[in-house]
Amino acid sequence: MAKTIAINAGSSSLKWTLYEMPAEETIASGIVERIGLDNSIFTIKYGEGKKYEDVLDINNHEIAVELLLEKLDDLGVLTDINEIEGVGHRVVAGGEIFSESSLITDEVIEQIESLNDLAPLHNPANVTGIRAFKKVLPNITSVAVFDTSFHQTMPAVNYLYSLPYEYYEDFDARKYGAHGTSHQFVAERAAEILDKPFEDLKIITCHLGNGASITAVENGKSIDTSMGFTPLAGVTMGTRTGDIDASLIPYLMNRLELTDVQDMIDIFNNQSGLKGISGVSSDMRDLEAAEAEGNERAEIALRIFEDRVRNYVAQYMVKMEGADAIVFTAGIGENAPETRQNIINNFKFLGIELDEEKNNVRGKERIISTDDSKVKVILIPTDEELVIARDVEYFKNLAN
Ligand code: AMP
């Protein structure tokens, strides 16, 4: 049976999901963590609730891929590694080169590497994953799926910064956005739920996870999104600032006695957001618990998060002159009813309202607005790996 594996490679990790295609059935999933360090952790979930776990030293991604295939064979998940006919790789930055997914060739790998400056942490790691699979399974259909592609339809008015125009022309300094596969997946699903053509709808998608972004999808296309040149911009996130005044960079560097601007950017990426404000945690569950115990900084962190998301939703509603649906997805969007309620509460004056009972749900696809709400609010679990597997299937079919 034909199988496709969706890969999300990090600098020291390899996250994967194995699908039976075209049935879109998940066969197994797992993660290899701490690659290149001592005591790498190897986890496979398969069958009905079965789990395999091992701790061993895995020196690089190539060895991780070899071990993974061997183990899938040993566990009987695969009868033969040649059952895997396709691999899809998540790539974070596709710049202006990739407005859609692409078959991976040597030239494509070079192009992805040429975009390393746009995602210095992610793109090199993604290429490591690509090369590892190329080495171990050289002849299967291999596809790169970009987080930025879906947003390549944004008009210049929305992707340009108010900077000297030459910086865009000469240095590619513009908004690219991220989470594109997720925004596209849930927006298309919303159209199916509403039973209307995707091309006729105005949808605002809120991907609220540890990373968070909001997208305006008009007539089936992303026309604006909250993340920017990199995923640092937009709403408050688990550990990222979201939008801030650039003048804070020299001011804080001075106060903190930092000389390397990268150290400042690291603080904006890793020590800020919900974690930085609350001093408690980057994790929504911890913040909810701390708020319940009366922790004021956890409370203000939660209110700031809701406020920034709400601002973007309002902005995009005006930009599109209305909306047919507002979608919530990802860890927080799917699992935090109170956060959803607090975000939507302010839209009552526009006739947009959540049904308290319907909203009291976690992780299940459902319309959560009242029957007469002017805009449908929908909870849709995202599935970025499935989008990757579908894109591989598309290229496999083209080749046959
Ligand atoms: P993601 O990056 O999509 O995996 O989302 C991670 C975020 O979702 C973290 O802030 C989690 O605390 C949050 N999350 C996951 N499950 C829950 C839950 N049951 N209630 C509240 N937040 C949750």
d(C-alpha 324, C-alpha 326), whole Å: 7
Q: Are residues 252 and 363 in the same domain?
A: yes
If asked whether residues 352 and 212 sit together in one domain, one would say yes
How far is 16 from 35, CA to CA, in rounded Å?
14
Task: Kindly state whether residues 116 and 12 are assigned to the same domain.
Answer: yes
Q: What is the DSSP letter of 312?
A: H
Q: What is the C-alpha to C-alpha distance for residues 144 and 108, in angstroms, rounded to an integer?
A: 9
pLDDT of residue 306: 98
Task: Read off φ and ψ for residue 363, nearest 5 degrees.
Answer: 70, 15
Active site residue 147: yes
- The Cα–Cα gap between 363 and 366 comes to 9
Q: Do 214 and 329 belong to one domain?
A: yes
Cβ of 135 below 6 Å from ligand 1 = no
Domains of the chain: total = 2
Structure tokens that stand for 287 in this block? 């913040």
Name the residue among 314, 344, 350, 352 with its Cα closest to residue 328. Answer: 344
Residue-number span of the structural domain to which 265 is assigned: 195-384
154 lines ligand 1 (CB under 6 A): no
CATH of residue 135's domain is 3.30.420.40
By most ligand atoms within 8 Å of CB, the mutation choice from 210, 328, 364, 379 for ligand 1 is 210
- Judged against a pLDDT cut of 90, whether residue 262 lies above it is answered with yes
From 57, 74, 147, 266, the catalytic residue: 147
Confidence of residue 12 (pLDDT cuts 50, 70, 90): confident
Residue 303 Cβ contacting ligand 1 at under 6 Å: no
Q: The pTM is what?
A: 0.94
Neighbours of 357 (CB within 10 A): 9
Do 208 and 347 lie in one domain? The reply is yes
Task: Kindly report, residue by residue over 288-326, the tens digit of the pLDDT.
Answer: 999 999 999 999 999 999 999 999 999 999 999 999 999
- pLDDT of res. 140: 94
Please give the Cα distance from 15 to 43 (Å, whole number).
10
Residue 15: predicted pLDDT: 93
Q: Are residues 115 and 263 in the same domain?
A: no
Distance of CA 11 to the CA centre of its chain: 17
Res 340 pLDDT > 80 = yes
Q: How confident is the model at residue 119 (pLDDT cuts 50, 70, 90)?
A: confident
**DSSP calls for 185-211:** HHHHHHHHHHTS-GGG-EEEEEEESSS
Distance CA 6, CA 29 (A): 9
52 and 44 in contact (C-beta within 8 Å)?
yes
DSSP H or E run through 208 = strand 202-208
Together in a domain, 325 and 245: yes
Please give the C-alpha separations between residue 363 and each of 98, 170, 390, 393, in angstroms, as whole numbers.
Answer: 32, 44, 22, 27
Residue 58 falls within a domain, yes or no? yes
Q: Kindly state the average pLDDT of the residues 72-88.
A: 93
